[in-house]
Structure 1
Amino acid sequence: MNRYLLAAAATLTATPALAHHPLGGLPMETFAHGALSGVGHPILGFDHLFFIAAMGIAALFTSARLTAPLAYVAAMVLGCAAAYAGLALPAVETVIVVSILAIGGVILSGRALSLAPALVLFAGFGLFHGAAFSGALSAQEGGAGASVLAGYLIFLAITQYAIAIGAQFVARTVLGATDASSVNARLAGAAVAGVGVFLALETLEGPIVAALTGA
């Protein structure tokens, strides 16, 4: 498990440099640009990637393993579009850290979620992950055109659903996690929770240093 946590921490150090530049910093001007950015952001943004994969594993042990992740996907698209339209959600980055801690804790507990709580959890956090994804659109000088927006949202949805289902496949066939109490499933939850702790400490580092130095 320590190896999982160390690997997760190492990959997260690259997040600030990579997460917002799937096009190498070039502006999005076409549907294809939006689509490429929609594919790249969930993969290069490791905070999102860990949550989505863990959400897929948590959904695996519900009564609707293939459709439950769609609650996250739908809410994520809604959150992204709403934030781009100017509807701001509070403390987005903080909630994303909480989402990783929460979903990791759910898997680590070894208890399967019933469907209704799972849908609420996935959708609730999906709104905030979507709001974070809107940053790529808002950063566009002059805003994103309709074709860019369509490509971005469509491929954000496809990519994240594929990650969730892919995580289920790995959990079942590679890790042999046949139920929520499986040791390997719980180890995956521990790794994700560890990532959440790392991000939480990273988030708190600035305020703590400022308080200690009186800056």
Structure 2
Amino acid sequence: MPVVPKTSLLALTLGGFLAATPALAHHAMDGETPTTLIQGLLSGLGHPVIGLDHLAALIGVGLVSSRFPRGWTLPAFWILAMAAGVGIHLASADLPQVELLVALSVVIIGIAATLRTTLPYAVIAALFAAGGLVHGYALGESIIGAEAAPLGGYLVGLVVIQTALTTGIAYAATKLSKASFASPSLQFRLAGLAVAVTGAAFIALPSFA
């Protein structure tokens, strides 16, 4: 059985991102507002995964975090800001061009993962906080009008799935990488490039959002 090169696997993964049905992106409950605690929880768990822009960002957060000796702390900046972004949306604050900001954050995080030299911890923390805020604002749209129970479940689901994905990817990338923190392997930089290209696709093709 032939062995598929890592770069080919990466290309296939990126192709799957871009070929996925755009209508799936943000509808964990078929577009309906959750009405129960369980529905809210399931919606919170599902939205960051089936939304390709959100999923790409989380992959990028994990990849970048794996570049730091204490990188497991970095996703916390994303998670806290994400929760704040949901709260800002629920407070009816207006954030213009949010889908564009979400896509741009994916591009920037992907680029950060491709760099041969690791950016300072404080810069990455600020980047994650800004990205988490706009992603949280976008994710808040799905829970507008919900009662307290489904809203609480939704927030718990968002925090649980995003914490699990970002820290899990960071841990796996750290274990798999044979390169130094400052100079990641070609495969991991290509994975970061795939994240950036996914974000760029959402900018070039707005119907993906």
TM-score (norm 2): 0.87
2:101 corresponding residue in structure 1: 95
Over 3 Å counting, the alpha-carbon distance change for 1:190 and 1:29 in structure 2 is same
The answer as to 2:80 corresponding to 1:78 is no
Partner in structure 2 of residue 181 of structure 1 = 183
Query: How does 1:1-215 map onto structure 2 within 5 Å?
Result: 1=7, 3-138=9-144, 143-176=145-178, 178-182=180-184, 183-203=186-206
TM superposition shift of 1:158: 1.1
- Checking the alignment, whether the CA contact within 8 Å between 1:35 and 1:152 is kept in structure 2 is yes
- Judging changes above 3 Å, is the alpha-carbon distance between structure 1 residues 191 and 2 closer, same or farther for their aligned structure 2 residues? farther
**1:13 CA displacement:** 3.7
Q: How many residues align?
A: 201
Q: Distance in 2 between matches of 1:188 and 1:85?
A: 36
C-alpha offsets along residues 30-50 of structure 1, whole Å, 9 cap, x if unaligned?
A: 111111000000010011001
3-state SS, counterpart of residue 122 of structure 1: helix
CA contact (8 A) 1:172 1:178 kept: no
8 Å contact kept, 1:176–1:184:
no
**C-alpha distance in 2, partners of 1:150/1:53?**
25
Residue ranges of structure 2 left out of the alignment (5+ in a row): 1-6
What is the CA deviation profile of residues 103-153 of structure 1, one whole-angstrom value per residue up to 9, with x for unaligned ones?
111111122122211111100111100011011112xxxx10011111111
Deviations 1:13-36 (A, max 9, x none): 435321222223444111111110
Percent identity of the aligned residues?
35
- Which whole-Å CA distance do the structure 2 matches of 1:10 and 1:188 have between them? 14
Structure 2 SS opposite 1:134 = helix
1:61/1:113 contact within 8 Å kept:
no
Of the structure 1 ranges 66-75 and 194-203, higher mean CA displacement relative to structure 2 is found in: 194-203
Partner in structure 2 of residue 209 of structure 1: none
Secondary structure of 2:29 counterpart: coil
Q: 1-side partners of 2:30 and 2:180: how far apart?
A: 40
Following superposition, the deviation at residue 178 of structure 1 comes to: 4.7
CA distance in structure 1 between the partners assigned to 2:169 and 2:100 by the alignment? 24
Greater mean alpha carbon deviation, residues 34-43 or residues 173-182: 173-182
RMSD between superposed Cα atoms in Å? 2.1
| Offset at residue 176 of structure 1 (A) | 4.3
Identify which of structures 1 and 2 has the higher relative contact order when contacts are C-alpha pairs closer than 8 Å and 6+ apart. 2
